Amino acid sequence: MLSVEALEAGYGESIILRDVSLKVEPGQVVCLMGRNGVGKSTLAKSIMGVLRARRGSISFKGRNITRAASGERARSGIGYVPQGREIFGQLSVLDNLRIGLEASRDPKRRRSGEIPEGATAGFPVLSSMYGRRGGDLSGGQQQQLAFARALVSEPELLVLDEPAEGIQPSIVQAIQDVIRGIADEGRTSILLIEQSLDFVRSVGDAFYIMEKGTIVWSGGKEELDDPAVMRYLTI
């Protein structure tokens, strides 16, 4: 579904990602972990085309998208929940969701503005807030909105950048349940960037750890407790 090979990217003259390679198979939940500042969000931005790759390649469903524009990547079937949510505070909840339709591959749905039921099914509170401004929502509600907005286009791959960061346990649980539900359906692959070991254990199929802009470990759930692995995750 997604293949990143020997990727190099950065900001200005600073190189952040060095020779990064990872894969996400169809229907798989792949978890990327690491301390703050090691390059995880930079990788997400590179996959989405927000940040251009300097070297290496990114392929989606066998097609090289390394030079594709961000909008083209979104319309090809990649949904993105960025760190910090990036919802539109002055727009209503419904209009925020409708913006997600711009990435839909269904032109009829784009024209109609109809929100798929599945996008908000895991976050039922949103349906009662359609008329409220996004900026008036709590942090947890904004996170649910950002997640639902990504689901509106019915993507084949979801890139989730720390969706549980800084929100209350009940909403973390709701997000966890939505990820599990998506995984059980098997139609959408997920690349989950997350620091909580308990969270990734509960949803992940495969795991990568990043340190100083490069992948230093990959493996399965049963190996995560190895002291050699844990040293990359402890502060």
Strand 206-211 relative to strand 55-60: parallel, antiparallel, unpaired? unpaired
Within-domain flag for 78? yes
**Given this model, what pLDDT does residue 43 score?**
96
Q: Which three-class secondary structure state does DSSP give residue 7?
A: strand
Q: Can you give 174-189 as a three-state secondary structure string?
A: HHHHHHHHHHHHCCCE
Within-domain flag for 165? yes
| Count of structural domains, the chain | 1
**Given this model, what pLDDT does residue 198 score?**
86
DSSP 23-55: EE-TT-EEEEE--TTSSHHHHHHHHHTSS--SE
Q: Which three-class secondary structure state does DSSP give residue 75?
A: helix
Within-domain flag for 11? yes
**Given this model, what pLDDT does residue 235 score?**
63
Within-domain flag for 235? no
- C-alpha distance from residue 133 to each of 57, 89, 101, 103, 145 (Å): 39, 6, 18, 22, 11
Q: Which CATH number goes with the domain that contains 77?
A: 3.40.50.300
Report H helices in 49-90.
Answer: 70-75
Q: Which domain holds residue 141?
A: 2-230
Residue pLDDT tens, the chain, 235 long: 999 999 999 998 899 999 999 999 999 999 999 988 999 999 999 999 999 999 999 999 999 999 999 999 999 999 999 987 788 989 999 999 999 988 887 777 777 778 888 888 889 899 899 999 999 999 889 999 999 999 999 999 999 999 888 888 888 898 999 999 998 888 899 999 998 888 898 899 999 999 999 999 999 888 888 887 888 887 6
Tokens 């190189």, residue located: 15
